[in-house]
Structure 1
Amino acid sequence: MRAIVVDDERLARNELKRLLEEFPRITVIGEAANADEAIPMIEEMNPDLLFLDIQMPGKNGFELLEALEDTVPEVIFTTAYDEYALKAFEFNALDYIMKPIDSPRLAEAIQKIEEVIEKNKKEDAQESEGELSVHDQVFVKDGEKCWFVRLGKVRLFESMGNYVRLHFDDQKPMILKSLNSLEERLDSKIYFRANRKHIINLNYIDKIEPWFSGGLLVNLKAGETGPGGEKIEISRRQAIKFKDLMSL
C-alpha cells in the first residue's frame, strides 16, 4: 500500500518512516508537515493510506480530511492527545495510535489495514458481475424492513462510514457497502460522483446553482412518493467533469 505521512514534527515523521520499514507491504510515497502541503499531494498521488497527525499549525487533521474533494484514503491517526479518539472514528479512521508510537502497536494497526484490504478484495470479487442498469431491481434490507426497489428510483447514494444510505421515494435505508464499490457498478451516464460522500442520479436533478470555489449545488427532485429536495454540493474538481458530461 502507498502511504503518505502527515505530521508537523520532522522527527516524528522520520521515526514513523523508520518503523514502517519493518512492514514491506507499506511504501511511504510522500510526507508533509501541514495540511496545505498534504492536500495537493494527496489529490495528485492518490495514496491508499494516510498516517495523519491531528494537532498541526493551520488546519488540523480533521479539517484536512474535510478539505479533500474526492475519495479519501484510509486513515490512521497518530497523535499525542487521547481526547480526539471518538471524533477520529466518526471520520471512519482505521485506527488511532498514541505517540510515542512503538512497533507492536503499529503492527496491530497494520494488521487492521490488511484485514480491510482482504475484505475489500472479497467484495470486489463478489461484485464483479458487471454494470447495474436503472432497470435492475435490488433487494434492500435495513433492520426489520425490506424493499425490492428498481435502481432507477434511487436518486442519491450517501456514504455513512462503512455503510451507504439509499434515498428513494420517502425511504432512506442503509446497506453495508462502500460508496466506491457501488460507483464501480453503476452506469456512469446516469449516476455521477458529486463528491467524496455522494453519488447522484442525474435524472433527478431539479436545479443547478453556482457554489463556492467553483463548485456547483444541485437540488434533487422528489421520488414518486416524495420527499426529495436534497441539496448536494458538486466539488470544484467534479464540477469540471459534470459540466463536460452535461454540456454546460
Structure 2
Amino acid sequence: MNELKALIIEDEATSREILANYLDKYCSSIKLLGEASNITEGLELIKKHKPDLIFLDVEMPFGNAFDLLDKVPNRTFETIFVTAYNQYAMDALNNHAAYYLMKPINIDELIKAVDYVLEIKQRENALEGQVLKANSGKAEGKITIPQQDGFQILDVGDIYFCKADDNYTEIYLEHKKILVSKTLKYFEEALSDYPFARIHKSYLVNVGEVVRYRKGKGGSVVLSNGKELSVSASKKNTLLAYFQ
C-alpha cells in the first residue's frame, strides 16, 4: 500500500482548506476523498468511502471526536487528531489516535504523522493471510519477582502479559496472576532483552503468545490463552515490527 484514502472532519472551513492544501502539497500518499464539517456528515462519508485515515478535529458542533469514534465501533481506519486543544492529547493517544497534531499545523509533524499511519497500513497488509512468526523467537530466561519475604523466580516464557495497576503490576501466568509492587515501566525495562512489547499504557505482552491481531477500533491482540488485549494506535508499529 502506497496510498491512503483519507477524510477531513473539521468544523472550521479555513482549517479544512489549509489542511487539504498541505496534504496535496506535502503528502503524496494521501488521496483525499471528502470533507465534513460535523459528526453527521462525517459518519456519512465514513460509511460511503471506507477510509484508511481520518483527520479529525476534537471539538465540533453537537459533539466531539470521541462521540464520532464511539459511533463506529468496528472501525479499521486510523485517526490523526488535529486540534487547538492540548487537554485531549493523552486520552486521544491512549485510546483512539495514531497521532495528535496541534494547530497551527507544523508541516514536518504532519508529514511524520502521515508516514507513521502509512507504515501501520503497510505492515498490516503485508501480514494479512500470512503465518505469523515472531522475529525474536521464544522468550527464554528467568526474572526475579520481589516479595515481602524475599523473591520468586519465574521463567520469562511463562509470562503471558503484564498489566498496570497504578504503582503495581499484575503478572499473568497460565493458571494464576501475581501482584507485584513495581510499576509496568519497571517490567518493560527488565524484560527489554526479551520479546515483550508495550502495546498499551496498561499492557506489556509476550509476543510469542500472540495468536491473532484485530484491526478494529484501536486494534487488539488475542493471546494463546484466549485473552484479548487492546493495542493503542500509537503502539501498533512497535508490535507489528516483531512479526515477519
Which category of TM-score, normalised to the shorter sequence, fits these structures?
A: 0.5 to 0.7
- Could you say which residue in structure 1 is the equivalent of 2:72? 68
2:35 is the counterpart of 1:31 = yes
1:172 aligned partner: 227
Say yes or no: does 1:145 pair with 2:173. yes
The partner residue of 1:114 within 118, 130, 147 is 118
Q: TM-score, normalised by structure 2?
A: 0.56
The separation in 1 between residues aligned to 2:85 and 2:69, in whole angstroms, is: 18
TM-score by length of 1: 0.55
Match of 2:220 among 158, 163, 175: 163
Note the alpha carbon deviations across 1:98-147, whole angstroms, 9 max, x for none.
Answer: 0011211101101211221232133225349xxxxxxxxxxx94456359
Contact persistence 1:47–1:73 (CA under 8 A) = yes
Q: Is the 8 A contact 1:164 1:177 kept in 2?
A: no
2:100 is aligned with 1:100: no
1:86 aligns with 2:114: no
Q: Does the CA contact (< 8 Å) of 1:142 and 1:175 recur in 2?
A: no
Give per-residue Cα distances to partners, 1:24-54, cap 9 Å, x unaligned: 1101100000001111110121111000000
Please report how far the alpha carbon of residue 165 of structure 1 lies from its aligned counterpart in structure 2 after TM superposition: 4.8
Decide which of 3, 10, 15 is 1:12's aligned counterpart.
15
2:97 alignment partner, SS class: coil
Structure 2 CA distance, aligned partners of 1:87 and 1:56?
17
Structure with bigger RCO (C-alpha 8 Å, 6+ apart)? 2
Deviations 1:48-89 (A, max 9, x none): 100000011112111000012532411000000000001102
Provide the aligned C-alpha RMSD in A: 3.4
Could you list the runs of 5+ residues in structure 2 that have no partner in the other structure? 133-158, 163-171, 176-213, 234-244
- Runs of 5+ unmatched residues, structure 1: 129-139, 148-156, 179-248
- Which amino acid in structure 2 is aligned with residue 113 of structure 1? V
CA contact (8 A) 2:218 2:230 kept: no
Number of residues of Structure 1 aligned to a counterpart in Structure 2: 158
Q: 1:43 to 1:159 in 2, by over 3 A?
A: closer
Instruction: Determine if contact 2:8/2:35 at 8 Å carries over to the other structure.
Output: yes
Give identity over the alignment, percent.
31
The one-letter code sitting in structure 2 at the alignment partner of 1:119 is: R
> Would you say 1:55 and 2:59 are equivalent positions?
yes
Contact 2:74–2:216 under 8 Å retained in 1: no
- The equivalent position to 2:46 in structure 1, one of 35, 42, 46, is 42
